[in-house]
Structure 1
Amino acid sequence: MNSLNWVQKFKILLDIAESLGSVHNNKLIHGDLHSEIIGYSTSREIWLIGDLRFCRPIDNPLNKNFGTMPYVSPEMLKQERMTTSSDIYSFAM
């Protein structure tokens, strides 16, 4: 990743953020966002979020403690209700 310039790094972050936005726009919470599930689509030339098996509906997320450390948000550690903010925290980590 060190060989990438700032524009390339920004493009990767923007792609991932837009992918997460698509998850949220579909009224879902990912719940297990971490670096190992980010992949590059050569056909679309874009970085995408994978492993959508933990997605939960925004209006009914389970209060089950899961996720990948150290990407788990504080509210998930405290067994509080997941929100889209939980995913945004994981993205920032």
Structure 2
Amino acid sequence: MEWKDKLTILLHIIFDLQTIHSQNFIHRDLHSGNILQNSQTDANIADLGLLKSVDTPEYNGVYGVLPYIAPEVLIGKPYTAASDIYSFGIIMWEISSGKPSYYDRKHDGILAKEIYDGLRPTFAKEIPLIYVQLANQCMSANASERPSASDLQEYIDSWAKKAFYIKIFKDADININKHESESSNNCINTMFSYKSIARLIGSEHTNLKDSSENQFCILDNLM
């Protein structure tokens, strides 16, 4: 998939997220398995079951797909709009790579602790620097440093429309080595419900109860 199509998908996703945030709601479970792709470039956020008003930030455990959970949430802080932005940053990495995040790692307490300590997905060298910088800002450990959904929409829209940025991404299309990944078409999301966050972070060998299922995933169409 060319970058212009990837940017269009991101624009659809961030438009939906900005709409959610503008109504003073938080999604709290944003991940690639919750993105429905209606066509090659038409994608929408789905599964609003955990949607919650920003006015009710009480903590009642951590629920979601581990790689997308913001580090502050992992230590018991409430979900915020910035937590959704962290999840969007992970999705930006996935769309750039065509792979599920941490596809080669077990989603357990060890990974959770490493994420809290600063582990983030690494971008390929062919990915445009402006894209990497924005995605990394979304995944900042400091929630206050993450951009808003409306800012993200503005940035990505300019990449898709302004000639200067269009050339950057066209050049990236030329430079990217196209190769098959053993996991590129194997998107399995594992949902966890954590009531004891101390047990999750504190134990390196926690055997977490989980439920896994193959879900429709936008990553299936990115390569």
State TM-score, norm by structure 1: 0.87
Equivalent AA in structure 2 for residue 36 of structure 1: G
Shift of 1:56: 0.7
1:70 deviates by 0.6
Q: Distance in 1 between matches of 2:71 and 2:6?
A: 27
Local SS of the residue matching 1:89:
helix
Q: How does 1:1-93 map to 2 (within 5 A)?
A: 4-41=1-38, 46-63=42-59, 64-93=61-90
Structure with the greater alpha carbon radius of gyration: 2
Q: Percent identity?
A: 38
SS of structure 2 residue aligned to 1:70: helix
> 1: distance between equivalents of 2:58 and 2:33?
23
The alignment yields a C-alpha RMSD, in angstroms, of 1.3
Contact 1:38 1:48 in 2 (8 A): yes
The Cα of 1:60 is off from its aligned counterpart by 1.1
Q: Which runs of 4+ in 1 moved over 3 A?
A: none
Q: How many Å apart are 1:40 and its aligned residue?
A: 2.2
* Distance in structure 2 (CA, Å) of the matches to 1:16 and 1:37: 10
Amino acid at match of 2:67: P
TM superposition shift of 1:68: 0.9
Could you list the runs of 5+ residues in structure 2 that have no partner in the other structure? Answer: 91-223
1:62 positional shift: 3.0
Matched pairs, number: 88
Give, in whole Å, the separation in 2 of the partners of 1:40 and 1:61.
30
Moved more, 82-91 or 62-71: 62-71
Is there any run of 5+ residues in structure 1 with no aligned partner, and where?
A: none
2: CA distance, partners of 1:48 / 1:11: 11
Query: TM-score of the superposition, structure 2-length normalised?
Result: 0.38
What SS does the aligned partner of 2:6 have? helix
Deviation of 1:46 (Å): 2.9
**How far off its partner does 1:33 sit?**
0.5
Contact 1:56 1:62 in 2 (8 A): no
User: How far did 1:41 drift?
Assistant: 3.4
Aligned counterparts of 1:26 and 1:46: Cα–Cα separation in 2: 22
* Structure with the higher fraction of residues in helix conformation: 2
